[in-house]
C-alpha cells in the first residue's frame, strides 16, 4: 500500500546544521533533537509536496534501491507523535 500522506516540519521547528557537532539538529521551543545523517536526509526530502512513499523512493534511489519505506514511515511517525512533523493528506 502506498503511503500518500505528505509530511512537513511543524512551523515551530527548525532543521539546521550544527557545525560544532558536525550533525544536523531539529530545534523547537524548549527542545532539540540531534539527528543521524539518514534522519536529516529524510527531513530534507520532506518539502511539503512529496508523500511519505515518494520520500522513501527518493531515499531508496540514493541507496541502490533498498526498501526503506517502513523505516522512513516509522521515523516520521515518531516525530509526528512529538508534534514535530505534520501530515497533510
Partner 1 sequence: MIPKPLWLLAELTYRCPLQCPYCSNPVDFAGPRFRHELTTEEWCRVFREARALGVLQLGLSGGEPTLRPDLEELVRAAHGLGLYTSLITSAYRLAEERLAALKAAGLDHVQISIQAADAALSDEIAGTAAYADKLAAYRAVKALGFPLTVNVVLHRRNLHQVEALIRLAESLGAERIELANTQFYGWALHNRAALMPTKAQLDAAWEVVQRERARLGTKLEIVWVLPDYYERYPKPCMGGWARAYLTVTPAGEVWPCHAAGRITTLRFENVRARSLEWIWYESDAFTRFRGEDWMPEPCRSCPRRAEDFGGCRCQAFLIAGDAAATDPVCALSPHRPLVDAAIAEAEGHPDAWTYRAAPASRALAGAG
Residues that bind partner 1 (CB under 8 A): 11-12, 14, 16, 18, 20-21, 25, 27-32, 80-83
Cβ count near 64 (within 10 Å): 6
Long-range CB contacts for residues 35-40, cutoff 8 Å, separation at least 24: 39/75, 40/15
The minimum distance between CB 49 and partner 1, in angstroms, equals 22
CA angle 40, 46, 48 (to 5 degrees): 155
60 vs 80 by CB, closer to partner 1: 80
Q: Is residue 24 a contact partner of residue 16, using CB atoms and an 8 Å limit?
A: yes
Q: What is the radius of gyration, based on Cα positions, of the chain?
A: 13
The minimum distance between CB 62 and partner 1, in angstroms, equals 27
32 vs 61 by CB, closer to partner 1: 32
27 vs 66 by CB, closer to partner 1: 27
The minimum distance between CB 12 and partner 1, in angstroms, equals 4
Amino acid at each position: 500500500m502506498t503511503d500518500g500522506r505528505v509530511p512537513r516540519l511543524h512551523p515551530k521547528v527548525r532543521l539546521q546544521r550544527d557545525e560544532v557537532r558536525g550533525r544536523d539538529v531539529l530545534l523547537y521551543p524548549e527542545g532539540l533533537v540531534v539527528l543521524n545523517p539518514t534522519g536529516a536526509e529524510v527531513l530534507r526530502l520532506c518539502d511539503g509536496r512529496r508523500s511519505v512513499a515518494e520520500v522513501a523512493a527518493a531515499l531508496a534511489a540514493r541507496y541502490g534501491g533498498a526498501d526503506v519505506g517502513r523505516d522512513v514511515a516509522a521515523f516520521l511517525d515518531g516525530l509526528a507523535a512529538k508534534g514535530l512533523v505534520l501530515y497533510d493528506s
